[in-house]
Amino acid sequence: MTSELVDCPPEAVLRAHRGALVPALVGLAALTVLAAWPHASGGVPPAPLLVDVAVGVAALATVPLLLRRPTLAGVLLGVLAALSPAATPAATAGTFVAARLHPVRVSWRVAAASAAGHAVLVLWRPTGLRWGWWLLCDVAVHAALLGWGAYLRTRASLLDVWRERAVRAEREQARRVDEARLAERTRIAREMHDSLAHRLSLLATTAGALEYRPDLPAEQVAAAAGVVREQAGAALDDLRTVVGLLRSGPEELHPLPGPADLAALVEQQQAAGAHVDLQAPDDLDLPAAVGLAVFRTCQEGLTNARRHAPGSAVQVEVVQSDDAVHVRVQDDGPRGRADVPTEGTGTGLVGLRERVELLGGRVEARPAAGGFVLDVEIPVTR
Q: What contacts 291, CB < 8 A, 6 or more positions away? A: 258, 259, 284
Greater model confidence, 275 or 222? 275
Which amino acid appears at position 332 of this protein? D
Task: Identify the pLDDT of residue 342.
Answer: 47
Banded model confidence at residue 247, pLDDT cuts 50, 70, 90: low
Mean pLDDT of 124-145: 83
Residue 321, judged by CB atoms within 10 A of its CB (0-12, 13-18, 19+), counts as: exposed
pLDDT reading at 378 higher than 60: yes
Task: Identify the pLDDT of residue 374.
Answer: 92
Question: How many angstroms from the chain centroid is the CA of residue 20?
Answer: 37
pTM across the whole model: 0.41
Q: Is the dihedral of CA 95, 99, 102, 103 positive or negative?
A: positive
- State the virtual CA torsion across 239, 350, 203, 306 in degrees, nearest 10: -160
Q: Taking each helix axis from N to C terminus, what angle separates 88-101 and 104-124, rounded to the nearest 10 degrees?
A: 170
Q: How far apart are alpha carbons 360 and 179 in whole angstroms?
A: 21
pLDDT reading at 357 higher than 90: no
Task: Identify the pLDDT of residue 1.
Answer: 41
What are the two backbone dihedrals, phi and then psi, of residue 130, each rounded to the nearest 5 degrees? Answer: -60, 150
CA nearest 280: which of 298, 293, 296?
A: 298
Strand-pair category, 275-279 with 313-320: parallel
Banded model confidence at residue 327, pLDDT cuts 50, 70, 90: very high
Mean pLDDT of 333-362: 68
Task: Identify the pLDDT of residue 373.
Answer: 92
pLDDT reading at 227 higher than 60: yes
Banded model confidence at residue 3, pLDDT cuts 50, 70, 90: very low
Task: Identify the pLDDT of residue 318.
Answer: 93
Instruction: DSSP letter for 197, please.
Output: I
Greater model confidence, 362 or 167? 362
pLDDT reading at 238 higher than 80: no
* Tens digit of each residue's pLDDT (9 = 90 or more) over 22-68: 555 555 555 555 555 554 344 444 446 667 777 778 887 888 888 88
Task: Identify the pLDDT of residue 2.
Answer: 41
Strand-pair category, 313-320 with 362-368: unpaired
pLDDT reading at 70 higher than 80: yes
Task: Identify the pLDDT of residue 274.
Answer: 81
pLDDT reading at 313 higher than 60: yes
Q: How far apart are alpha carbons 104 and 113 in whole angstroms?
A: 14
Banded model confidence at residue 300, pLDDT cuts 50, 70, 90: confident
CA nearest 74: which of 96, 91, 55?
A: 91
Strand partners, 373: 330, 366
Greater model confidence, 215 or 70? 70
Cβ atoms of 208 and 339 within 8 Å: the answer is: yes
* Tens digit of each residue's pLDDT (9 = 90 or more) over 150-192: 888 888 888 888 888 878 887 887 788 778 777 767 766 666 6
Domain ranges of the chain: 2-172, 258-382
pLDDT reading at 381 higher than 90: no
Average pLDDT, the chain: 76
Tell me how crowded residue 335 is: count the other CB atoms within 10 A of its CB.
14
Cβ atoms of 138 and 112 within 8 Å: the answer is: no
Percent of the chain residues topping a pLDDT of 70? 73
Percent of the chain residues topping a pLDDT of 90? 8
CA nearest 311: which of 228, 234, 193, 208?
A: 208
Q: How far apart are alpha carbons 270 and 226 in whole angstroms?
A: 13
Task: Identify the pLDDT of residue 12.
Answer: 54
pLDDT reading at 141 higher than 80: yes
CA nearest 293: which of 332, 313, 322, 320?
A: 320
Cα distance between the two ends of the chain? 44
Greater model confidence, 180 or 342? 180
CATH class of 258-382: alpha beta
Banded model confidence at residue 5, pLDDT cuts 50, 70, 90: very low
